[in-house]
Amino acid sequence: MSAPRIVRHGLVDSTSERAFAALAAGEARHRDVHVARAQSAGRGSRGRSWDSQDGAGLYASVVLLPEPPAPPPAALTMAAGLAVRDLLLELGLAARLKWPNDVLVGGAKIAGILIEARGYDPARPAFVCGIGLNALQRAFPPEVAARGVTSLALEGATLAPERALERLLPHLDARLDQARAHPAELAAAFSSAARLLEGPVCVQRGEQELRGRIAAFGLGGLDLATEEELVRIPLEHVTGVQPD
């Protein structure tokens, strides 16, 4: 497989916006990587902002133009999260995943994933995979620090953002291949990394909260054993999973 095309930016609104602009202009290629020194409007899940200190973190968005039928967005989120975790394990950090798109070290968030699609066409699927990884930061704004965050540097694994990207991309390719060829294995790996089967959980389904133990997990959904019944919940209906 040839090396992906790296599109480097200085200060941008967000790397994902640059990736979507390239898609809209017909200039994007599969596996293009937009990476920036800093972002003025970096974002995470649920509309939250992503702290993007100049030169301190990895701010990257990967264009994904898979052959149809494309893996579901949940599979892409799992693949990207596992790829970041693979990198962190390679660096000697005991990382785990938190539903649906956070990567944690010691209970603090070190990276986040955001998969987006706009004007989705099943015949020509197109996604942008945004990845934010805290690398060189040694301090964060109070409102960010209050959420519980960390970085490679704070964990004793100092790695420049550009080098982190270089080492991350092979892991991402491998996990994306797994999403297409072995989706059940991908789901099992995510379930293990997120410790979904280890204890009682609270599952959010829209505004509803259900408590129990996850009896089975896959890309089609999860089976939650409550005190009263076994409930099947499609993944697209799950808005949160927390230890209970």
Report yes or no on 122 lying in a domain. yes
Same domain for 205 and 188: no
Tell me how many domains the chain contains. 2
Q: For residue 52, what pLDDT band results from cuts at 50, 70 and 90?
A: confident
3-state secondary structure (DSSP) of residue 16: helix
The token duo for 194 is 């997120």
Report yes or no on 80 lying in a domain. yes
- pLDDT attached to residue 70: 92
Question: Is a pLDDT exceeding 60 seen at residue 68?
Answer: yes
CATH number at residue 222: 2.30.30
Question: Is a pLDDT exceeding 80 seen at residue 217?
Answer: yes
- pLDDT attached to residue 48: 63
For 145-171, write each residue's pLDDT tens digit: 888 999 999 999 989 999 999 999 999
Residue 237: burial class (beta carbons within 10 Å; 0-12, 13-18, 19+): middle
Domain ranges, residue 233: 201-243
The span from the CA of 67 to the CA of 124, in Å, is: 8
Over residues 211-216, the mean pLDDT reads: 97
As a whole number, the mean pLDDT across the chain is 94
- pLDDT attached to residue 45: 57
For 25-46, write each residue's pLDDT tens digit: 999 999 999 999 999 887 765 5
Assign residue 129 a region (left: φ > 0; alpha: ψ between -120 and 50; beta: otherwise): beta
Q: For residue 2, what pLDDT band results from cuts at 50, 70 and 90?
A: confident
Q: For residue 50, what pLDDT band results from cuts at 50, 70 and 90?
A: low
